[in-house]
Chain A
Amino acid sequence: MVMETVCPAGTPAALRAAVEAGAHSIYCGFADETNARNFPGLNFSREEMAAGVAFAHARGAKVLVAINTYPRAGAAPLWHRAVADAEASGADAVILADPGLLAHAAEHHPGLRRHLSVQAAAANADVINFYADSFGVKRVVLPRVLSVPEIAAINAETDVETEVFVFGGLCVMAEGRCSLSSYATGLSPNMHGVCSPASHVDYAEEGGELAARLGGYTIHRVGKGEPAPYPTLCKGCFTSQGATGHVFEDPVSLNAEQLIPQLAKAGVTALKIEGRQRSRAYVAQVVRNFRAAVDALAAGRPMPEGMLARLSEGQAGTTGAYRKTWR
């Protein structure tokens, strides 16, 4: 059985590029606050979604629609419409996080497959089985807080398929349970589908250094000419009791390509690549490499080595929580 590659598309062009590069499944969202990558210029209109689904289906690929923010009180119809429109577009599944929205989808769209978003941070077999019993969830995207043996233990205790992140941006907090961004900027992943938004970023030259601020908080300072990292809160530089450093996480990104055989052994169904905000060229290259890796694994050939290091945000890669010492 070949592991499924689940690949990001922020635009119709990226969707087509991912399909042509060999993606088994594409995930994407509508251009509004119903999805957790609600960035300017990204995502799909209703027409683009239907066309994207038709394009993917014609080439044997699936489309999963992320509707994974938490509906705003009093505004549920916007999210309900997104679920209905995803079904109408012919999508193969919706990726949801909010229990109220899951209940709605299970009741009104029983034929539409439901995946549990990473934003629900379901981190053990008990709660995963509970989501399956309550809402008929068929697959869970695991939060990035688990080690490979823990993932294996989960798979041993559930029939729900598991999907794990293997490449791209890395949340260090349990997803869907972090309001650092709205504390500093008023905009959050859960409510607005954004984290550390560009609208609140400010760079300033000060005394030969470049300071990067988010919401007025200085969380990077580099010498002139050095590349200035984007001020994502949990990758920022801070001072605590006289020591300065990356308190939460270094500016690294996830690269678990070498763990693919172990993840397969752990019973993982699908490998997810982060990056709906990425260019189609980037998406195509990452997809091609991961498709080659899962095909090699299925055929019993050795894994291609170090294929993606240079795509990792120009930074060091990490295997994150998959190795227990990360904690």
Chain B
Amino acid sequence: MELTVGPNQFFWEAPRWAKFYAGLARAPVDRVVLGELVCSKRLPFYQDRLPEAIEVLADAGKEVVLTSLALVTLKRERRMTADLLAMGLEVEVNDLTALAHLPEGVEFSVGPLVNVYNEGTLAWLAARGARRICLPPELPLDSVRVLARAAADLGVSIEVWGHGRLPLAISGRCYHARLHGRTKDNCQFACGDDPDGRAVDTLDGQPFLAVNGVQTLSASTASMAHHVEALAEAGVSALRLSPQSGDFVRLCRLYRDRVAGGMDGEALSAALLPEVAGGALSDGFLNGPCGADWSGGRA
């Protein structure tokens, strides 16, 4: 089982951003997807650091991939999306707008924010040049199994959301700005205050969601700690680890140990629990009944 580090969902200052990717060169992961996924207003703050991060990661033997935005509406965003291929890296499509800009025959990968729910869509993407698809986190194991089988016949690798606060929704409205009484155009980059998103609790004080600019995340951190064997058996070839604050290189090592068989699901989740924002894990999308559920000791 390979490990992919997904694009950072949060807005970190450029020095922190650069340090994170420099550190990742030492992490036991196979691929790194970077670039701006959530909000086009953030990119100018760290854009000039991208080439060095890409070089360091590539020198360390990682496959480096560039993500598209998750929701493309503005002219500037369309231009950004059209320019992705010019960086000379593989593109991860997280909005089909990016695919519209890829010439036929260019290989690409598909991120978890594209709705790949069935074999028909998978086959259409494969015919267009998809070589790897990270499935939407919402999919149950039965669907993952069917899709992985179909993908194998088409020479496409299947990845699933392995670790991280779940990307539950994307909007035209910025909730971070709204919480500060501002609009998106005048956000003053409020999302930069919360390196793992801003907690949104129920009226009973129960942790529930986290807002991250125009994105809404789960409060819990999804983890496939208990499902590595089931996913491997289903034909999944990679787990996606989504960046968070703290010692992320250590977190990658823990998952590497787990997929290599040196650690069981219990030990991994015990090690993860103190490290995740909000202090809760979930894996309910895979086995139900709902996304927020955690199978705990049951594997």
Contact indicator B118/A98 (Cβ below 8 Å):
yes
Q: List 12 A-B contacts (CB under 8 A).
A: A74-B143, A98-B115, A98-B118, A99-B125, A101-B121, A123-B72, A126-B97, A145-B171, A174-B172, A238-B200, A239-B200, A326-B172
Q: Are the C-beta atoms of A126 and B198 separated by less than 8 Å?
A: no
Q: How large is the interface on A (under 10, 10 to 19, 20 to 34, 35 or more residues)?
A: 35 or more
In the bound complex, residues from chain B placing their C-beta under 8 Å from that of A122 are 96
Is B42 an interface residue when CB atoms closer than 8 A count as contact?
Answer: no
Nearest-CB residue, chain B, relative to A102: B124
Given the complex, which residues of B lie within 8 Å of A150, measured CB to CB?
73-74
**B211 is contacted by which of A127, A129, A186, A247 (Cβ under 8 Å)?**
A247
Give the size of the chain B interface in residues (CB under 8 angstroms).
72
Q: Which of A76, A172, A190, A249 contacts B138 (CB 8 A)?
A: A190
The interface residues of chain B lying within 8 Å CB-to-CB of A178 are 168-170
Q: Could you tell me the dominant secondary structure of chain A's interface residues?
A: mixed
Across the interface, do B173 and A215 meet the contact criterion of CB distance under 8 Å?
Answer: no
Confirm or deny: B48 has a beta carbon within 8 angstroms of a beta carbon on chain A.
no
Stretch at the interface among A65-73, A264-272, A291-299: A65-73
B35 to A: closest C-beta gap in Å? 18
- C-alpha gap A57/B177 in the complex (Å): 48
Q: Please state if A211 and B117 are interface contacts (CB–CB under 8 Å).
A: no
Q: Which residues of A contact B123 (CB under 8 A)?
A: 100
Q: Are B183 and A327 in contact (CB under 8 A)?
A: yes
Q: Does B251 belong to the interface (CB within 8 Å)?
A: no
1/0 contact trace for A129-154 toward B, CB 8 Å? 11100000000000111100010010
The answer to whether A70 and B115 touch across the interface, beta carbons within 8 angstroms, is yes
- The answer to the question of A285 belonging to the interface, with a C-beta cut-off of 8 Å to chain B, is no
Question: In the complex, which of the residues A74, A127, A221, A243 contacts B72, with contact meaning CB atoms closer than 8 Å?
Answer: A127
Chain A contact residues, CB within 8 Å of chain B: 70-76, 97-101, 103-104, 121-127, 129-131, 143-146, 150, 153, 172-174, 176-180, 182-186, 188, 190-191, 211, 215, 217-221, 234, 237-241, 243-244, 247-249, 321, 324-327
Contact A247 B203 (CB under 8 A): no
- Shortest B29–chain A CB gap in Å is 26
Cross-interface CB contact of A100 among B122, B138, B200, cutoff 8 Å = B122
- Of A76, A219, A325, the residue contacting B118 (CB under 8 A) is A76
**A145 CA / B169 CA spacing, docked (Å):** 13
- Say which residue of A76, A244, A327 sits within 8 Å of B185 (CB atoms): A327
Which residues of B lie under 8 Å from residue A182 when comparing CB positions?
A: 138, 285, 290-291
List, in ascending order, chain A residues with CB within 8 A of B169's CB.
173-174, 177-180, 234
A99 to B126, CA, bound (A): 12
Complex Cα gap A321–B203 (Å): 27
Closest residue on chain B to residue A127 by CB atoms: B97
Report chain B residues within 8 Å CB of A71: 117-118, 120
CB contacts under 8 Å to A, within B112-133, are 113, 115, 117-125
Specify the chain B residue showing the minimal Cβ separation from A321. Answer: B172
Q: Do B117 and A190 touch across chains, with their CB atoms under 8 A apart? A: yes
**When the two chains form their complex, are residues A186 and B289 in contact, meaning their CB atoms are under 8 A apart?**
yes
B282 to chain A, nearest CB (A): 8
Q: Is the CB of B206 within 8 A of A217?
A: yes
Residue of B whose beta carbon sits closest to that of A243: B179
A103, A177, A180, A243: which contacts B115 (Cβ < 8 A)? A177
Which single member of A75, A103, A221 contacts B124 (CB below 8 Å)? A103
**Are the C-beta atoms of B166 and A183 separated by less than 8 Å?**
yes
In the assembled complex, which residues on chain A have CB atoms less than 8 Å from the CB atom of B291?
Answer: 179, 182-184, 186
Contact of B179 among A76, A143, A179, A240 (CB under 8 A): A240
